[in-house]
């Protein structure tokens, strides 16, 4: 069997740590469990990471890059660019579906990130720089500075972003924990969430 490269071995350790941290939480996890999940000796982990905290920091950095500039900017730019002829509602529905799929695909990473940044100040700064500010800049540059700008009310940008992200996150959480409470298919739910975001819940007809 060919010997694995350092890059492949590091990736293997990170993927194993993501699974263990997601299942047990960072504090309750041990490097012994991570090594077992990766199928390697525990000492191998310390050739790549000084300690468990360093491994967590690498995961946060990895996830920041994964869901930060490359994916957020590239994927959303493509959605906006490819759907210039569609209405604001249709574009927001496409963006929301894309965010739901991204969150579901990377659920384990998000679980670790959102748990640990509450307690790790340096990790919180990484997340703020690579994700929160990237989203803000992307919206300012690609949505509010084009034909859609005149359609928005004069509301705080971060309030709008938080409302949108909140819908996405709560949909995925509910689907994962209480799927029996979801009565509509995803397409209809997304349609109704965007409808409420844009026009509220009061029938003005």
Q: Is residue 167 included in any domain, yes or no?
A: yes
Same domain, 96 and 149: yes
Say whether 88 sits in a helix, a strand or coil: helix
Listed residue (98, 116, 115, 119) closest to 165, CA to CA: 98
The total number of structural domains that make up the chain: 2
Same domain, 116 and 190: yes
- Helices (H) and strands (E) counted in the chain, each on its own, are 11, 0
Does pTM top 0.85 for this prediction?
no
CATH code at position 186: 1.10.357
Q: How confident is the model at residue 201 (pLDDT cuts 50, 70, 90)?
A: confident
Q: Is residue 98 included in any domain, yes or no?
A: yes
Q: Model confidence over 37-77: pLDDT tens digits?
A: 999 999 999 999 999 988 988 887 777 666 665 566 677 77
Whether residue 192 contacts residue 98, with contact meaning beta carbons closer than 8 Å, is answered with no
Q: Model confidence over 102-159: pLDDT tens digits?
A: 888 888 887 887 787 777 777 777 777 766 776 677 666 655 555 566 677 777 877 8
Same domain, 70 and 146: yes
Q: Is residue 4 included in any domain, yes or no?
A: yes
Whether residue 164 contacts residue 152, with contact meaning beta carbons closer than 8 Å, is answered with no
Same domain, 42 and 75: no
Q: Is residue 205 included in any domain, yes or no?
A: no
CATH code at position 6: 1.10.10.60
Residue 58: enclosing H or E segment and its boundaries? helix 52-67
Q: What domain range includes position 94?
A: 59-199
d(CA 45, CA 14): 10
Cα torsion angle, 26, 32, 38, 44, sign: positive
Q: Write down the pLDDT at residue 140.
A: 67
């Amino acid at each position: 069997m060919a010997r694995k490269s350092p890059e492949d071995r590091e990736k293997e350790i990170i993927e194993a740590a993501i699974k263990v941290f997601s299942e047990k939480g960072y504090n309750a996890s041990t490097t012994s469990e991570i090594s077992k999940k990766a199928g390697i000796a525990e000492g191998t982990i310390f050739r790549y990471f000084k300690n468990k905290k360093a491994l967590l920091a690498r995961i946060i950095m990895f996830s920041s890059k994964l869901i930060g500039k490359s994916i957020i900017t590239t994927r959303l730019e493509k959605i906006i660019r490819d759907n210039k002829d569609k209405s604001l509602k249709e574009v927001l529905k496409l963006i929301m579906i894309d965010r739901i799929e991204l969150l579901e695909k990377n659920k384990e990473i998000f679980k670790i990130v959102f748990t640990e940044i509450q307690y790790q100040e340096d990790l919180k700064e990484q997340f703020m720089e690579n994700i929160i500010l990237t989203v803000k800049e992307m919206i300012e540059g690609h949505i509010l500075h084009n034909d859609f700008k005149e359609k928005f009310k004069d509301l705080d940008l971060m309030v709008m972003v938080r409302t949108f992200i909140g819908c996405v996150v709560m949909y995925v959480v509910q689907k994962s924990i209480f799927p029996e409470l979801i009565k509509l298919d995803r397409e209809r739910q997304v349609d109704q969430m965007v409808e409420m975001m844009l026009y509220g819940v009061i029938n003005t007809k």
